[in-house]
A and B are shown apart, each in its own frame.
Chain A
Amino acid sequence: MNRSNFVSPRAMFEVLEILAADPDAKLLAGGTDLIVQMREGRVSPRTLVDLSRLSELSCIKLRHDTLHIGCMTTFNQVARNPLVVRHAPVLAQAARQVGSVQIRNQGTIGGNLANASPAADSIPPLITLGAKAEVVSKDGSRSLAVEDLLAGVGVNTLLPGEMIAEVSFSLPAPLARSAFVKLGRRKAMAIARISMAGLLVLSADGLVTEARLALGAVGATVFRALEAEATLLHKPLDRSVVAACLRAVQDTVAQKLGRRASATYKREAIRGVAEELFFQLVPELGAP
């Protein structure tokens, strides 16, 4: 591991100044991705900008029906926060499944987004929640949908000098149903082989009025399964509708995987993940 300069600013403007001045600087949030990458020699930033002194970046606030989560909020803070648990249980459910207690105490939601892994656990739920990232730089700020932050495996769309300040989303409708399912090789410290989040809103007469399904670890980025979502819209959640949706999910995944080595397995296993997701979303349906 090469040596880097280490700075620990106390104010946001200082962070943004450094980022603007030094394109070779890297933000250090929880370090659970960055330090690993540095040890492996995959990155060797000249300057490390430690965010841990900026306590305002780790907070969860509800303002005008929008939930704001600061970039330095850890998975455990997300998982235990009553507002998240109440209004966005899918995000809490995913946060609880990250790594281990130690990783959840250390890893942050900003780091998870910026690291842009297709297997990142917070991204599928954030996408189904329609979350936006607030991106700031010395010159100002912009807001973009979480999907639009992702450019490829480990690649985000941030411009030099930019950082993610927070993520936010409008509270889902009170009757929304949501769930997150992760398939790993073990129950903790597992990188998702496949993950999937779903959020459905139903009308009073039981028709689906909103459907968002996001898939992780089957493509270069987490993405929405739009065709599968469409199969649900304006339909009742009965077995045949769900079955059609599962087929659409499977088709989308097969297409996305193409001929990569893991395709043989994942093409099939996605059914188990999706089945489990709908088992949680529509428990009243029972057995397939």
Chain B
Amino acid sequence: MSLRWIGKPIPRQDAWTKVTGEARYMSDLSMPNMLWGRVLRSPHPHALIKSIDIAEAVACSGVVAVLTHRDVPGLNAYGIVVQDQPVLCGDKVRFVGDAVAVLAAESKEAADHALGLIKVEYELLPGVFDPEVAMQQSSPTIHAKGNVLRHSKVHHGDVEGAFADSAVVVEREYRTSRPISAFLETEGGMAMLGADGVLTVYCGAQYPDRDVIQIARALGLERDKVRMVSTLVGGGFGGKDEITVQIHLALLALNTKRPIKLVLSREESMVTGWKKHPMIVRMKTGATSDGTLLAHEVSIISDTGAYASLGGTILHSAMEHCSGPYRVPNVRVEGHCVYTNNSISGAMRGFGVNQVTFAMETQMDILAEELGLDRLDIRIKNGLKDGDKGALGSPLVTAMGPVQTLQAAGQTELWSQRETYKAEPSRPWKKRGVGLAAAIKGCGLGFRMPDFGAASVELLPSGFFRVRVGCPEIGQGNTIAFAQMAAEVLGCSVDQVEVVTGDTGETPDSGTSTASRSIYVAGNAIIDAATKVVELVEQGISARLVVDVEEVELGEAEVRAGGTALSYLDVAALLLQNGQTCCAAGRFDAPKATEEVPSVYGLPHLVFGTNAHVALVEVDTLTGQVEVLQVSAVSDAGRVINLQGLEGQSEGGTVMGMGYALTEDIIIDQGMVRTLNFNNYIIPTAMDTPPISTTVVEVVEKTGPFGAKGVGEVVCISITPAITNAIYDAIKVRVTELPATIERVLAGLQGV
């Protein structure tokens, strides 16, 4: 198949407006007569609410509404899986930042002022901040049903026997940090009640169709009375998958009948935003003397904070990926996802896989060292192939890329010439090291969860085509990829395709823009719809011009029908007369495994993207400072749809995973968030970003659109252990706790 648009580095359609600042995020919108909203939040990590007195705030000039739990008309709770998070707390608060009241005022200043006038009387409860403490019976309970949200176990093979047969067994404990997405646009937006009684919420989000369900449920409205618009989004990374401010906006708009805007400050976002789950991962791995992995025993304790959201699902994802991209025939894994009075953990790029991959890839390096094997060889030897079984024992039946990806990583100059790169550090007291790691990450939602794509393609009177897809553009560049896939099928140029995403009033529900899935599911749905539109055009033209259907051909600039060539404008004029339309809906249901993994809900995944990273670091042995000097990334995306988009994901993912390795951590002390802004929540800047080269390995997935898989998450995973393994290579200090701050590295150097 010769492809015209697929794989080409076509610039994004929104590039110019975003670079010039012309593009408007939902939190940039404003309306005449608009009110400003604010949320009153709990200053305590765990407390009973004795009373809420809003009288003074209500009486304050400029204040239009002050609402509490009593004003939530429907279910006062939300949550993607379990609805355990109150829209507005009534009896109890469970973390610093829990919402207690919302208000609307004529100005931002009036809203800020009035917020301080709401009086809440609390009775403090003892808090629990350590997940291992929270698991104990004697611990204060955060939710009536107990502090363990999910406890799951999977076991296959003869683990004891395999450990007994192992020549070497490596056992370590790893602890991971609590990073936040740090998106450019904080959570925020606008809402208004239309004259038609439809409540429209404009808010950056990753799954507006599901948000509508959650909003309608909380407000006691019919779903068709709620519309959600979520385009453009200033970054998601998982942090806008769950409800953020949508219900608060909707509640205020419904109550005041005026447009309302609410945007979280950066500090509020840092306190209340969804974090990646900190996990304690204990791993015991056994291998034969030639490095063949035999046995793996893993325990994961995941701190989900005050509410469930996707905590259980993320734990399961971590369990599924607990052997990284490697084959281990005998595995026992046990996971606990635990409530604490810490800030809330939820979806964040990688979905539990970053944590276990960091652990597993460190285990692999230790095994290689103990067995005297090459770090690359031991990985390739154990790399997952089609037909192998995954960590939980389910067969892998799609195109698996670990071996090819690792081989390509081995061929990068950074790896093959590593001794040269390491030879001359910039100062006599600095040392260089090169590290390697790989990762897989499932695309899509896994077994049981409805996982579908839906799209429509329509010929417009202008001769352009409009593609509608629910999955929002959250900055990752799916819009241009959607346009390329549509144009490839339609035959027209990419410029002729307009893409609309993320508006429940306009676009078919296509599931979330999460889980590395939107290209895979929505792409397939677009192919389906576009194929039907091609048929409609061919048949329509054939009938109008009385030529054979076979003689009609859609081309880049024109449609040829027999001997004549028609512009797309003419084609539209011919076909769309008399109220006719030329529009088709497309659908794709993601294939599922034949069997569910016993005792864990929603597993396995079927399709996996793979990534490998090689990193060169220089460590200052006197200060513990780690500089990442150069990175080579290898990405198996299946067939690449847009090369520039893939490189963007790869580079952005690399930098995000670098922050995870070295600096990023939301520090919570007895429930109080101490990192409130970017002065002490340290993300890498452009100056810290090393040269990154991305090599593409296309292990084509036949169920994917044109052979594509999703890579939005896997690109940020292997870099973290590649860096920590490079640190070891440089200074022989094992990083087992993230992030590897200057203090920890220096303490390691001193043998502390």
A: which residues have CB within 8 A of B? 3, 100, 183, 185-189, 191, 193, 264-265, 268-269, 271-273, 275-276, 279, 286-288
* Given A186-B663, A273-B623, A286-B428, A265-B685 contact (CB < 8 Å): no
Among listed B152-160, B204-212, B742-750, interface-contacting one: B742-750
B429 touches which one: A187, A264, A265, A272 (CB < 8 A)? A272
Closest chain B residue, CB of each to CB of A274: B622
Q: Contacts of B580 on A, CB cut-off 8 Å?
A: none
Closest chain B residue, CB of each to CB of A183: B623
Q: Does B625 contact A (CB under 8 A)?
A: yes
Q: Tell me the B412-447 residues at the A interface (CB within 8 Å).
A: 427-429
* Given A186-B682, A269-B742, A279-B427 contact (CB < 8 Å): yes
Q: Does B687 contact A (CB under 8 A)?
A: yes
Q: How far is the CA of A287 from the CA of B427 in the complex (A)?
A: 8
Total number of residue pairs linking A and B with CB closer than 8 Å: 59
Q: Does B684 contact A (CB under 8 A)?
A: yes
Q: How far is the CA of A186 from the CA of B747 in the complex (A)?
A: 19
Residue contact A187 to B687, C-beta cutoff 8 Å: yes
B688 touches which one: A187, A191, A193, A276 (CB < 8 A)? A187
Q: Does B1 contact A (CB under 8 A)?
A: no
Q: How far is the CA of A188 from the CA of B621 in the complex (A)?
A: 21
Q: How far is the CA of A276 from the CA of B620 in the complex (A)?
A: 10
A265 touches which one: B109, B678, B746 (CB < 8 A)? B746
Which 8 pairs from chain A and chain B are nearest by CB?
A272-B622, A287-B428, A272-B623, A187-B687, A188-B687, A188-B685, A269-B623, A265-B743
Given contacts A183-B742, A185-B663, A265-B624, 17 further A-B contacts (CB under 8 A): A183-B623, A185-B742, A186-B684, A187-B685, A188-B686, A188-B687, A188-B688, A189-B685, A265-B743, A265-B747, A268-B750, A269-B622, A269-B742, A269-B746, A272-B620, A275-B429, A286-B428
Could you list some 26 contacts between A and B, CB below 8 A? A3-B109, A186-B684, A186-B687, A187-B685, A187-B688, A188-B687, A189-B685, A191-B679, A193-B742, A264-B743, A265-B624, A265-B746, A268-B622, A269-B622, A269-B623, A269-B624, A269-B746, A272-B620, A272-B621, A272-B623, A272-B625, A273-B623, A275-B427, A275-B622, A288-B428, A288-B429
Q: Contacts of A287 on B, CB cut-off 8 Å?
A: 428-429
Q: How far is the CA of A273 from the CA of B621 in the complex (A)?
A: 11
- Contact size range, B: 20 to 34
Q: Contacts of A186 on B, CB cut-off 8 Å?
A: 663, 682, 684-685, 687-688
Q: How far is the CA of A272 from the CA of B428 in the complex (A)?
A: 11
Q: Contacts of B663 on A, CB cut-off 8 Å?
A: 185-186
Interface hub of A269, A273, A279 (most chain B Cβ within 10 A):
A269
In the assembled complex, the CB of B568 is this many whole angstroms from the nearest CB of chain A, namely 46
In the assembled complex, the CB of A104 is this many whole angstroms from the nearest CB of chain B, namely 13
Q: Contacts of A286 on B, CB cut-off 8 Å?
A: 428
Q: Contacts of A276 on B, CB cut-off 8 Å?
A: 427
Q: Contacts of B623 on A, CB cut-off 8 Å?
A: 183, 269, 272-273
Q: Contacts of A100 on B, CB cut-off 8 Å?
A: 685
Closest chain B residue, CB of each to CB of A193: B742
Q: How far is the CA of A187 from the CA of B621 in the complex (A)?
A: 17
Q: How far is the CA of A271 from the CA of B621 in the complex (A)?
A: 10
Residue contact A183 to B625, C-beta cutoff 8 Å: yes
Closest chain B residue, CB of each to CB of A262: B743
Q: Contacts of B687 on A, CB cut-off 8 Å?
A: 186-188
Q: How far is the CA of A287 from the CA of B425 in the complex (A)?
A: 12
Closest chain A residue, CB of each to CB of B750: A268
Closest chain A residue, CB of each to CB of B685: A188
Q: How far is the CA of A269 from the CA of B744 in the complex (A)?
A: 12
Q: Contacts of A272 on B, CB cut-off 8 Å?
A: 429, 620-623, 625
Closest chain A residue, CB of each to CB of B427: A279
In the assembled complex, the CB of A268 is this many whole angstroms from the nearest CB of chain B, namely 6
Q: Tell me the B727-752 residues at the A interface (CB within 8 Å).
A: 741-743, 746-747, 750
Q: Contacts of A265 on B, CB cut-off 8 Å?
A: 624, 742-743, 746-747
In the assembled complex, the CB of A274 is this many whole angstroms from the nearest CB of chain B, namely 9
Closest chain A residue, CB of each to CB of B627: A187
Q: Contacts of A189 on B, CB cut-off 8 Å?
A: 678, 685
